[in-house]
Chain A
Amino acid sequence: MIETLMYAFADVFAPWNLALMTIGVTAGLIAGAIPGFTIAMAVVLTLPFTFGLSPVEGLSTMIGVFVGGLSGGLMSGMLTGIPGTPSSIATTFDGFPMARNGKPGLALGLGVWSSFFGGIFSAVLLVTLAPRLAVIGLEFGPWDYFSLVLFALTITASLSGENLVKGMIAGALGLFIATIGEDEVNGVARFSFGIDDLESGFTFLPVLIGLFAFSQLLSDLQDRVKARQPLMDASGADARIRIEHLKAIRMVFARWTNLLRSSVIGVFTGVLPAAGGSISNILAYDQAKKASKTPEKFGTGTPDGIIAPESANNATAGGALITMMALGIPGDIITAVMLGALLIHNVQPSPTFISDNPDLAYAIFVAFFLAHFIMIAMQSVTLRLFVMVTRIPMYLLASVILAYCAIGVFALNNITYDIWVLFFFGIIGYVMRQLGFPLAPIILGVVLGHVAELNLSRSLAIDSDLMLFLTRPWSLFFLLVSVFSIGFPWYQKARTTKAWTLAYIPVLLAAVSVPLFMMEGFVRPIIGVALLALSAYLLWRSAASGWKVAPTGDHEVHLEET
């Protein structure tokens, strides 16, 4: 392991790679700071540049953009009151008041260092947990893997918007798109309608850029007046602000319980498929407020209100990478793009990824660590760039990026057909956005469609008995959580008004304890007993209080494009 780590250090600390990462972090910081320009879009647009790079260079650059983007959102949120990304919404609640109260340098310092420590905490967990989780992943048979994909899709659909059915339709459409072209198992052409190009199906990148980036830019341009105005009014943002690093570090350490709790929330939110920084920052803010002795100060510029969301959203990145690297399942659009990047370099994401590609896996770990240090170094520089970029009108930026999309997509296979695919899916993505369909499930459907089909086929080849999906513990576990994830939107809507919601979590815990009892060894059945006991306790507590529901949180949880 030490030897692998040394190799990884040598790869990541190579001058060219350091330069690429610095550019990536800077681009991420700027992209994250621009409202409407999401981190996911920045990572998507980075992908074409990575074709000509080695896997380590490509992935390091993308990780740089990812980490930079998560921290960039705080700049605009604090200085203008408009969060740059959904993952920094809660930062604005206290960051903006603090900046307006004459302490912008301290507000930025708290945000930057909370992001840093949250990210480093998740990086430590990434290095220690991902290989262990991958060992669990090695236990998975095709039945379990198929059910895991199903879970990833259902939870994404249920968290992606207000309309569950539209989310489910989007996920199923994604799966259908993945079936077009030659079947991976038998080599038979499907839905090609006699068109030669369609026989090879759709390459992931043009579909992704079309559905996501192209349609996003078109949506940003929709308002003709707004499209001609500067990106945002940053007149209140002074590029000469000095970030108060030392004071901020001291304040962050003085509130270490908040930092630790929020980072843990961030990591575990990231580990869950579909849940990202847009959810974790609000959850961490809510928890910090509940745990505070002075909750009334939240919203007026309290340091705890900045530390919680910023440490949580950066920690989410580490959590998402844990799932991606250990199980080969993307947690969100960003990790889906990273999986796409791995596929481009012929690296197959799966539970064996870390053991099969230790050099690359450890390079990702090191790059994730390093990106946080670069982020700290580049924050002051990008503050000036951010103020400059905000003066550019959207129509100018969008037109140039659209041309870049065409060039970038062509670079993948050197065929014009890919640009037509981009154009076609750009229209579909735009229409879907206008009709209120979430895009995350469709993208995950496209990425996971092949994995689902391959594993279904393998499972049927081994044994045609469909009951194995219910009798194998891991498969049953994922199917059960899939069912509960489908019910989650109803639970969320009714949890402050309907008594049945009090039984939702206990029943979920009791249900998932069943497959744990079916597993071998001692640890997992013991966890099953603990879950069952917790379930009984929660039911008893609700019964003792007469099944009365009480408001439990200030914010609904929805996945937004981070």
Chain B
Amino acid sequence: MARLNRDTLIALLLLVFCGVMISASLDIEETNYGTMQSSVWPQVVLGVLTVFCLAMLGQSVLKPSVVKTENGGGSSGLGRYRNAITVYVLFFLFLVTLPYLGMLLGGIGFVFLALTLLGEPELKRVPLHLAVAVGTVGLMWSIFTFGLGVLLPDGELLQLN
């Protein structure tokens, strides 16, 4: 997508965001103490943000140029983001299942699935990925639990603490 379209779209979305937040800032409770009301600073920041978004909108309309992204990648379209989307979905599932699986099992599951889906799609790699997942997450879990004294969350499935 050309920068004209994309940056214009981003600027418009940001302007909508600013509008919503400015509206929400009007609902911030007013106090009868303190010199500066709690809504003043957010409104100043949102006002500045709105001005910059307008500048970006103007820039995108007046000076369109080719956009540069961080990584080239091989695929085009949504395929470029396949790995990122895969990881986000897996991480989301990890978070949702955390109360049931706990940090240890959930972490192992997350790393194993991430390795299997992101790595070479070969069956012989599966045991290696499982070993890496168990070894690394197990080590991290041990360091935090026994070394740093952090009570990592247990799941309903496996109670360790």
Contact = CB atoms under 8 A, between A and B. Distances in A.
B150 A414 contact: yes
A130 B29 CA distance: 42
A221 B94 CA distance: 19
B86 to A, nearest CB: 9
Contact of B29 (A188, A220, A404, A419): A188
A395 B119 contact: yes
A176 B153 contact: no
B40 to A, nearest CB: 8
A188 B98 CA distance: 32
Interface residues of A, number: 66
Interface residues of B, number: 70
B17 to A, nearest CB: 9
Given A228-B119, A416-B153, A186 B38 contact: yes
Interface in A150-185: 162, 165-166, 168-169, 172-173, 175-176, 179, 183, 185
Contacts of B49: 169, 172-173, 176
A189 B24 CA distance: 12
Contacts of A426: 88, 91
A188 B38 contact: yes
A460 B37 CA distance: 11
Interface stretch (A101-109, A230-238, A273-281, A429-437): A429-437
Contacts of B98: 416, 419
B24 A193 contact: yes
Interface stretch (A6-14, A119-127, A304-312, A405-413): A405-413
Contact of B45 (A176, A395, A410, A414): A176
B75 interface: yes
B151 A416 contact: no
B38 A219 contact: no
Contacts of A254: none
22 contacts: A49-B148, A52-B148, A169-B53, A185-B36, A185-B38, A190-B42, A221-B118, A222-B83, A223-B71, A228-B119, A228-B120, A399-B111, A403-B140, A404-B140, A406-B103, A407-B140, A411-B152, A423-B88, A423-B91, A423-B95, A433-B70, A460-B35
Nearest to B47: A172
Which of B74, B84, B137, B153 has the most chain A CB atoms inside 10 A of its CB? Answer: B84
Which of A176, A228, A423 has the most chain B CB atoms inside 10 A of its CB? Answer: A176
Judged by DSSP, the binding face of B is helix
Which of B38, B137, B141 has the most chain A CB atoms inside 10 A of its CB? Answer: B38
Contact of A52 (B33, B55, B72, B150): B150
Given A52-B147, A218-B83, A416-B98, A435 B10 contact: yes
B138 to A, nearest CB: 11
B28 A400 contact: no
B48 A172 contact: yes
Contact of B87 (A221, A456, A464): A221
A538 interface: no
B31 interface: yes
Given A189-B29, A393-B119, A411 B95 contact: no
A225 interface: yes
A434 B82 CA distance: 14
B53 to A, nearest CB: 6
A218 B153 contact: no
A223 B73 contact: yes
Interface string A385-396: 000000001011
Contacts of B36: 185, 456-457, 460-461
Interface in B55-93: 55-56, 59, 67-75, 80-84, 87-88, 91-92
A224 B75 contact: yes
Interface string B1-45: 000001000100010000001001100110101111111011001
A402 interface: yes
A223 B95 contact: no
Given A165-B56, A414-B151, 11 more contacts: A176-B45, A191-B42, A399-B110, A399-B114, A402-B87, A403-B137, A403-B140, A406-B110, A411-B150, A434-B69, A457-B36
Contacts of A399: 87, 110-111, 114-115, 118
A420 interface: yes
A264 B53 CA distance: 39
A51 interface: yes
A244 interface: no
B126 interface: no
